[in-house]
Structure 1
Amino acid sequence: MYKNLIFSILLVFIPISIVGHFLHWSEAVIFITAGLAIIPLAGFMGTATEEIAVVLGPNLGGLLNATFGNATELILAFIALKSGLVQVVKATLSGSIIGNLLLVMGFAMFLGGLRYKEQNFQPTAARLNASSMNLAVIALLLPTAVEYTSTGLTEITIQRLSIGVAIVLISVYLLTLLFSMKTHSYLYDVGMAENENEDKEEAPHKPNLVLWVGVLLIVTLGVAVESELLVESLEKATEVLGLPALFTGVIFLPIIGNAAEHATAVTVAMKDKMDLSVSVAVGSSLQIALFVAPVLVLAGWVIGQPMDLNFNPFELVAVAVSVLIANSISSDGNSNWLEGVLLLATYVVIALAFYFHPAIEGLS
């Protein structure tokens, strides 16, 4: 209830940002208002996707959720890529993985742990997700390792390597969907069963498919417009606000794109549905690494804005550290408030490191 109220209030920033753009207001004002406008749009996009999924049924609905789960980040990153801000795109991708594993899951475990002494979730699914995240780290690490251990390597070679890796990652992502929704769906049914039981106690819910498809289309257009305003004002706004460019890309932008998921994961954790909460946080990170990043590599190749998987080494260190501690904490299928604090503390340390890290050429 409070989440929807906050999102409704934030909608006011949509006309403000658009008016500011046409009246040539300060780039900093446009940047802030566009960022705030994206938050509720992302939230309503998630709601529309869930409502449509109810009508489509568990299989098609699950596929829809898996495809559109990070649509906001994908739209924002694509617009930045189209504008030639490749380093911004890479920073946002790594920041989304870090934010979901540490900030989202950290807050969920901390706030959920304050209400319930211990919370449990499916350990087998957690271990499988951990293995998938390890693959994602390997896939992001190797192109960078090839670049740094070779001499005379051309950008075209790294681009071709990245396209090959992207195809492998998308294939693995599709296989994980087959595994989780078809062949081994029972491993992921614990949290869902609780939701279904609660739904049965409530009045039957029959969403209006035409209405929610229309909402999804309008909200997607809104996200695209606001993302365009955000990207256009990004470089000048960071200078005016005194925000380091790398910090903005890795910390600030992912928080905007993931705000709706943050709220969902924390809300369900406080209702003692840690299975669903962990699924939201880790699943979002997996989708970024195995689907969104590879799709952007292929999209960049198609539109003539080459993007590879040769990330900044410091970003890779931060991602690897995030995956390491998240896997360590989630592998036993049990959580408490202290483990949430450990994840949040790691996120704060990483954020501080990015704040004081010199800007990367092409990101500032």
Structure 2
Amino acid sequence: MSIKTIVSLGLLVFIPISIAAERLEWGSLTVFITSAIAIAPLAIWLSTATEEIAVVTGPSIGGLLNAVFGNATELIIALVALKGGLIDIVKASISGTIISNLLLVMGLSMFLGGLRYKEQEFQPVVARVNGSTMTLAVTALVLPALVAYSSEKVGNIEVTKISITTAVVLIIVYALTLVFSLRTHSYLYEVGLVEQEDQNPKDIVEPVAKPNISLWLGILVISTIAVAFESEIFVGAVEEATAGLGLTPLFTGVILLPLVGGAAEYVTAVRVAVKNNMDLSVSVAMGSSLLVALLVAPILVLVGQAIGQPMDLSFELFEVVAVTIAVAVANLISLDGRSNWLEGILLLATYTVLAAGFYFHPG
């Protein structure tokens, strides 16, 4: 049994603890902390179940499953928060997830992988494609804010219309990226095979038992339901708990929520980087950012309109600048298809500086 499995099983004890904390009114801070810890192993099991099912269903359906469930935890938390009217926190979590994946996840992967291997390589063509798509996504996310800031005559109605149009365009682009990565250019994304080949040398042929798809489907369903349940508890306490700690909604959304919802991506990206599979690590970090920008954010805009919690894509100016910096730095460092521990430090340093900015920002 791997360390990841042992830890993810052990942390499940926080599910009943968080429920007890809420029911017995142990305080919003206790509920906030215990439910946040409880979500982390559920996110890991949800991600693991998706990966195991993908092994059985094949690369096409498996890739689609990963595309849909890759950021399921973040989406569920955001939907629950949106339903609760925490629109500022939801919007901040979108930019925060993009920033954390590009800087924190990729930074940790390059740093820890670079400590073990002097220099690591990954396919620059995949990084360039993801980087180009990410640039488009950021342009689309920045546009409503620029329109709002550039003219005093632009009202909420116009910003909402721009946001809805942008959301539809981004969803279409995301569908086309799936066609590109799963059909027409799938050979560029077959990076997961490297890890399997490293573990099973070609001169040693060992029978590999296929995962029990019924078991993992059950785990996928149970994990998704459990994440939704814990998210209700977490979101119910987040506002009061963070206010008690002196944290603004902006810092909570940009820094704290991505740390809770992105546990699975962090574990996967760092684990494969330490095994010298930077191809997969970079794909996880950049792919997760793309999923948030091209699918999660547009879905939240459209769902918000449907449930009477109108959310637009007009972000705070500092958020816009921070996301732009994150994309620019990540693209610059990944351009040559090589990484080392110093480049990881540079990404982590950028993330730390931005996090400090969000902490002291009045929101």
Q: What CA distance in whole angstroms lies between the structure 1 residues aligned with 2:247 and 2:158?
A: 34
Task: Check the 8 A contact 2:45/2:223 in 1, yes or no.
Answer: yes
TM-score by length of 1: 0.96
Q: What are the Cα deviations for residues 279-332 of structure 1, in whole angstroms up to 9, with x where unaligned?
A: 000100010001100111111111111111111111111100000100000011
TM-score normalised to structure 2 length: 0.96
| Residue aligning to 2:185 | 184
1:249 aligned partner: 253
Contact kept in structure 2, 1:122 and 1:188, CA below 8 Å:
no
- Which is worse superposed, 157-166 or 200-209? 200-209
Q: Distance in 1 between matches of 2:197 and 2:11?
A: 33
Q: Which residue is 1:119 aligned to?
A: 120
Residue 199 of structure 1: how far off its partner (Å): 6.7
- What CA deviation, in whole Å up to 9, does each residue of 1:22-41 have, x standing for no partner? 11120000000000000000
Tell me the secondary structure at the aligned position of residue 216 of structure 1: helix
The unaligned stretches of length 5 or more in structure 1 are 360-364
- Give 1:254 shift: 0.4
CA contact (8 A) 2:195 2:272 kept: no
Superposed counterparts of 1:25-40, under 5 Å: 25-40=26-41
Deviations 1:168-190 (A, max 9, x none): 1111111111111111112223x
SS at match of 1:12: helix
Look up the match of 1:22: 23
Alignment of 1:212-361 (within 5 A): 212-359=216-363
Within the candidate set 211, 214, 228, 1:210 is matched to 214
- Alpha-carbon offset, residue 110 of structure 1: 0.5
Query: Residue type of the partner of 2:329?
Result: I
Task: Measure the CA separation in 1 of the matches of 2:193 and 2:236.
Answer: 45
Q: 1:36 is matched by which residue type in structure 2? A: I
Q: Shift of the alpha carbon at 1:195?
A: 3.3
Residues 106 and 282 in structure 2, CA contact (< 8 A), matched pair in contact too: yes
The amino acid across from 1:33 in the alignment is T
The answer for the alignment partner of 2:3 in structure 1 is 2
- Whether the 8 Å CA contact 2:148–2:155 is kept in 1: the answer is no
| Residue aligning to 2:197 | 197
Aligned residue in 1 for 2:46 = 45
2:68 is the alignment partner of 1:64: no
More displaced stretch, 209-218 vs 241-250: 241-250
Distance 2:21 2:196 in 1: 45
For 2:262, what is the secondary structure of its paired residue? helix
Cα deviation, residue 3, structure 1 = 1.9
The CA RMSD over aligned residues, in Å, is 1.2
Contact 2:83 2:309 survives alignment (8 Å): yes
Find the counterpart in structure 2 of residue 362 from structure 1: none
Q: In structure 1, give the amino acid aligned to 2:68.
A: T
Which range moved further: 98-107 or 172-181? 172-181
Q: Letter of the 1:192 partner, please give it.
A: G
